[in-house]
Chains A and B, each alone.
Chain A
């Protein structure tokens, strides 16, 4: 039985320091800890495993080269990496020449999923960071159905307010209000997140 992996805030700070000191082993450790989550996020946005692996590679290259831009005072390392992964994924999504075909595919996927995002299957609970995953899902579940839908479209598809309004056939003001309220609730619900534990 393997020992539980931890990624406490202190551990994240330590990793960041070692990365800034150009410790190559720290990059390997970081990969082991966060790569499943990064890959999961990117695949969820792109729906393409091969392209997702390229983006994951880009993310770690960017983390290694621009680790000096990470300000520990503004947040832990993992959300910073997640935001890089999301931005890279959305960039790739926008670059796609097959945008409309993929978009149609996304529509089919969302039709099956009801436009929502399901938690991971229980057999993946051994992946480090699992409790955090559950807590973020709990925070999302606390939102109303309408708020959850606009958050998912905004975060995972990078749609603008106007695009979400058109997609959901809702007035723009309604979408903005739902997003603002969802953001407030999520900020409140996730405020207690500190450590990534076993």
Chain B
């Protein structure tokens, strides 16, 4: 009811031109915000999409990193077990390949029947050749691994030893065709009885 108090003030006759001005302003088309709003919405959407993509990518990469870190820890444990295990025998063999001196180190775990082999300073192979590692058993030579070496980098590998009916008495390495051989046929890199 007190809104009627506005009627307390004395009326004033507006200037005649005011009506035209007022109506023109009131009836003028309103400024359209559709375009700018749509653009702002698109930009917001793009930014939000980018942020979501970055969030997902970072999440995926973080998960990958964590997985790799776990695997590295597991491998470290495995290697540590090999190296420091009481049943592990360390054999270090100096080798000479392509006029350079290197070495092959074997950690032989007789309990788990596994070898950890590390090759350092081996000359890279020719394109059609590969190093082949052999177990020397009481029954003869059994292939352990074929190792094509194209780069001048150390190589580490874990190997399962032959079954109990083939007692390992030594190791040998030869240079064979790229796909490997059923029995040694190429130049001997080393030959060592344990």
Cβ of B12 within 8 Å of any chain A Cβ, yes or no, is yes
Interface residues of A in 89-121 (CB under 8 A from B): 117-121
Closest to A75 in B: B3
| Contact across chains for B3 and A27 when beta carbons are under 8 A apart | no
Could you list which residues of chain A lie within 8 angstroms of chain B, going by C-beta atoms? 24, 27-28, 31-32, 35-41, 43-44, 53, 56-57, 60-61, 63-65, 75, 78-80, 82-83, 85-86, 117-121, 124, 127, 129-130, 132-133, 136-137, 140, 151, 155-156, 183, 186-187, 190-191, 193
| Given A31-B19, A65-B30, A82-B3; A137-B14 close (CB under 8 Å) | no
Q: Determine if B8 is an interface residue (Cβ-Cβ < 8 Å).
A: yes
Q: Quick check: A40 and B23 within 8 Å, CB to CB? A: no
**Distance (whole angstroms) from the CB of B109 to the closest CB of chain A:** 86
A133-B7 contact, Cβ under 8 Å, with A28-B19, A35-B19: yes
Are A27's CB and B26's CB within 8 A?
Answer: yes
**B: which residues have CB within 8 A of A?**
1-15, 18-19, 21-23, 25-27, 30
Q: How many contacting A-B pairs (Cβ < 8 A)?
A: 125
Q: How far is the CA of A164 from the CA of B5 in the complex (A)?
A: 18
A127 to B, closest residue via Cβ: B11
Known A-B contacts: A56-B18, A61-B26. Give 6 more (CB < 8 A). A56-B22, A79-B1, A80-B3, A151-B5, A155-B2, A193-B4
**When the two chains form the complex, which single residue of A53, A83, A119, A140 contacts B14, counting CB atoms closer than 8 Å?**
A53
What is the CA–CA distance of A77 and B136 in the complex, to the nearest angstrom? 108
Q: Are B9 and A43 in contact (CB under 8 A)?
A: yes
Q: Contact at A186–B6, with CB atoms within 8 Å?
A: no
Q: Which A residue's beta carbon lies closest to that of B6?
A: A82
Q: List 6 A-B contacts (CB under 8 A).
A: A27-B27, A36-B14, A85-B6, A119-B10, A187-B2, A190-B2
Q: How far is the CB of A17 from chain B (nearest CB, A)?
A: 18
The docked-state distance in angstroms from the alpha carbon of A85 to that of B27 is 18
Residues of A within 8 A of B21 (CB): 53, 57
